[in-house]
Amino acid sequence: MSETPPRLSVIIPAHNAASVLGEQLEALRAQEGAEPFEVLVSDNNSTDGTARLALDEAGSLNLRVVDASGPASASHARNRGAAAAAGEILLFCDADDLVDRLWVQELSEPLSHGADVLVAAALHHQRFNDAEVLRAYDIGPDPDPDSVTEESPEPPPYAGYLPTVPGNGFAVRRDRYLALRGMDHSYPGGAEETDFAWRAQLEGVRVVVCPRAVVHYRLKDSPRPLFRQQRIQNFARILLWARYREQGMSGPSTAYSLREVARHLPGLLRRQSRADRLRTARILGGNVGALQGILAFRVLRRSPAPRTAEAAPLEAPRR
């Protein structure tokens, strides 16, 4: 007689994550108070031995590697992981961050009691990022999760519309994830988690925040990767706006982005502190990406078709 499958499945999309994945797996092995869970490393076209490292570092974890080859996309990898998961509840994190010791317990608790909600983790930044990086991102001190008394604070709206969740720290019922056809991997490296959260809320799912479900987040700490990240994320945000502007999402300002680029571009020619160089890269990357998105999705109207999960991989796994 086969063992009863775990109710919880932790899904980690991973692309060439061999240098960081081991630390995340160690954090999952150290979880406190959690009911049994499985871990699925959803390997998206890695060439650095990510899959082998995951199996070698599994230790006491109930771990499987899922083949998520195909489109280069964390969302595609999440969808493949969800399709293969045995659990009724899906918890998502990223390979290059670090979940805190109560993450599984806290993030899964509302869903374990039967609620049909989308649960957001709390991102903390001080563990991995120095003061100059935090200053460049305009990020203040982390809150103390032990000082939180309310169950789930009401999340604020994002871009004037509905609340969102972090792609590297959220949980949802598996049947709900599959009914929504997973995440849309037509988004180019950003905004897909917000699109998913909004589609869920339009179907009546409420977003709740678990302040004690902490994810320690690594920010970009050098100008070029930071510029690239912000450019891609803001390019994707304009695609999100093109799809949700009629529902009330706040739109872009071409004039503002042009002014910000003109204002901060001379900073590249001046001697700056590390924090100022990083801040310049963040602002320029974000506004260059916004301008590219405005041109592509607003002026030329070249929005790609949505690419959610195919029907076949989303059938319930055999147990």
Q: Residue range 9-29: average pLDDT?
A: 98
Given the DSSP bridges, would you call strands 117-124 and 206-216 parallel, antiparallel or unpaired? parallel
pLDDT higher than threshold 70 for residue 153? no
Scan for tokens 């120095």, then name that residue: 130
Give the predicted TM-score (pTM) of the model. 0.93
Rounded to whole angstroms, how far apart are CA atoms 252 and 108?
36
Q: Is 272 helix (H, G, I), strand (E, B) or coil?
A: coil
Hey, what are 289's tokens?
């990406």
Contact 70, 43 (CB under 8 A): no
Q: Is 200 helix (H, G, I), strand (E, B) or coil?
A: helix
pLDDT higher than threshold 70 for residue 314? no
Q: Residue range 191-208: average pLDDT?
A: 97
With cut-offs at 50, 70 and 90, classify the pLDDT of residue 3. Answer: confident
In sequence order, what DSSP letters do the residues of 282-310 get, joined into one string?
A: HHHHHHHHHHHHIIIIIIS--PPPP----
Bridge partners, 124 (sequence order): 216
